[in-house]
Structure 1
Amino acid sequence: MLEIDQFNEQQRLDALARFDILDTPEEEAFDRVTRLVSRILNVPIATVAFLDGHRQWFKARRGIETCETARGPAFCNLTIRESAPLIVTDTLSDGRFANNPFVTGPPYLRFYAGIPLRSAEGQNVGTLCAMSPEPRAITADEIAILQDLAAMVMDTLELRELASVDGLTGALSRHAFREMATRELSLAKRHGHEVSCLLFDLDHFKGINDVHGHAAGDEVLAASVATCRRILRESDLIGRVGGEEFAVLLPYTGRQAAMNVAEKLRVTIAAQRFAGAEQPFSVTASFGLAAFGPALADLDTMLQRADQALYAAKDQGRDRCVAAEAAEVESGLGRRVLKAGQIVFNAGRSAIDCTVKRLSDQGARLAVLSSAGVPDRFKLAIAADGFSRTCEIARKAEGELDVRFA
């Protein structure tokens, strides 16, 4: 196996950012691939993984409970540097992996087959993997099947980026929604008018698929979007941003008016009736709301705040609308990026991998597997940019840090 010439981590992360796939909900299109891998190769573990600066994150997984692991020891961290599949028939006989924590500890891997997920520009953004706690051989035909399935994953991602409309529901695609909503926010900032953002999620949607079948689930998704369209104005935007999660942008709409819209959508969705496997059923939705303001002047921050409100709605029992509290001004967090970084402290003797999500001259937002153990003051290093700045933590949450440069 030959390592890809001039492997460039930042180009790889740029390609990954273009697909906007990280931290999105589970989706049947990807789950289906892991089921096929598990059945065809008769292995208990299969994943579709994407790697950012500090972790491998599973868009789809079978046989693994966690949705992410540290990138450093991940087998996939080697696979993304390869131009061919990485095959390990017995990890205990391979010096690269015999002492790996995923071999000596759960899930006690003995067999691994990883296929790079390569973009049209030739960047490996992730991997399709088949794994087992038992050693096994793999045939050329099985490898070819894995390569075909990996190509199907990438075709799905590439087509989604090109598509402006979700084929099932008629809502805007995730990519198209982001582009159009960003333009609307720019207009709002320029002319000083109000705008609000809603995120809503159909409650217990997996149960609908499990009990009534995926065809019924598809009908619920399409009908719910059609129901929303009858209430929303022509100028409002609705996009499908996850499997059963949707975003709505409401131009010229303040916080209270947006809450009224959200409540009307919630009630109308709950009034729908569908023919079930044995009896008719209905569905409910939970809503989170964020309104434009000095602290929410860009789309990512608005979506993040609406997402926090959505989770609050779920925690409070679902089938309800929750508005995000007015946020303090977030100064200096800068533009959206995706860069591999390191948190360096203890006089350079200790380092924690991180992913830089936002960056400016004044500060940054960092993603980490855990914020525990991160000191209040450290150096942030971004190797690709030759960047090193001392910074202090301004906000700490589980898995995320906002820092200001000293």
Structure 2
Amino acid sequence: MISYPPPKFEEQKSEILQRYQILCEDQSVSALCLADSIAMALRVPYVIAALNRRYRSWYHCDHGFSAHPSADLQSYFARMHLSQSRFDVADIAEESFFQSHTSGLDLPDMKALGGVPLTDPNGKRFGTLCIADANVRQFTEAELALLSSFGQLVSNDICMRSAARYAVRDLVELEHEKCDLFELATIDPLTKALNRRAFMRFGERELNRFKRENTKLSALMLDIDHFKQVNDVHGHAVGDRVLTKMVSVVASVVREEDLVGRLGGEEFAIVLVDSDARAAARVGDRIRQAIKQVNFPGDGGPFNVTVSMGVAEPLYAEPSINDVLERADAALYQAKRSGRDRVIVAAENAHAMPSDAPVSEPQRRAN
């Protein structure tokens, strides 16, 4: 049974996110390359973009550490200089702040330390880009200027990725809302089959394809026998379960590209694409037998229901899918008059059902 809209958004979203690595929780290659470039340009063994909690879970820009720095280590580097200007410490052993905040931290062997603030376009600071050397040294003015330039690159990269993350999430939320609205407009809320309006719309599309490409097409009308008695004897709640289960059975028999719609009450219609009346009758009989085997719980014990079905192929002179359904409906009522629990093919298509010919399964449409 077809699930509209045919392009599944979750698959498209995953493909886009993987392609651009926008919401990837793993390390982005570009951020690692940026850290490596900083280390090479400034000739330092350690580089880390120490970020606040909002960014550190998904953005990792570091070099020289055996693993991505822990949250505590990130906090240590991020707190070491909270001003809006760059800083340079020749030997952290001489600075009380750095010694008083190292308890429990697995710090690398470093002496000299330099850093620049990371800020958003509004100047709000969200982290520090730090470089460290294992030797006591004073970073030159040129090195600190280059570090500032790298800091701007890192800031821009983080802000761009952050904006992209929020943009994608907004799009995902919007797409979910669109899908919800689409479902409200096209899906029967009880059975999850297409509602009448959507079924006729998509059925018309398949009829046009049938005429344009000279393919096969068939329509089935399905009605639960004595359904009023089910509601009268067992109640409407049980009747609703019968309808829901019946659609579930139909969906298990037909293919994804086929259409299943609830036209009203216990009356349903099916459009089988690339299938003639003979194949449709075979599918209809499989549905009929499957539904007949289902046991429904009732007040007086389990019970079964049967269905009657009518089948019709389009005639080229018929302008709309409704014309095809009317002939299938006439065949349905013939099935009712003939004793119910059976599948009848419309008289105009009876030639498609020779008694000595094998019934072939409908072929799947090529993707």
Between Structure 1 and Structure 2, which shows a larger proportion of strand residues? 1
Q: TM-score surpassing 0.5?
A: no
Question: RCO greater where, 1 or 2, for CA within 8 Å and sep 6 or more?
Answer: 2
Query: Which TM-score applies when normalising by structure 2?
Result: 0.45
User: Which structure: larger Rg?
Assistant: 2
TM-score by length of 1: 0.40
Structure number with the higher helix fraction is 2
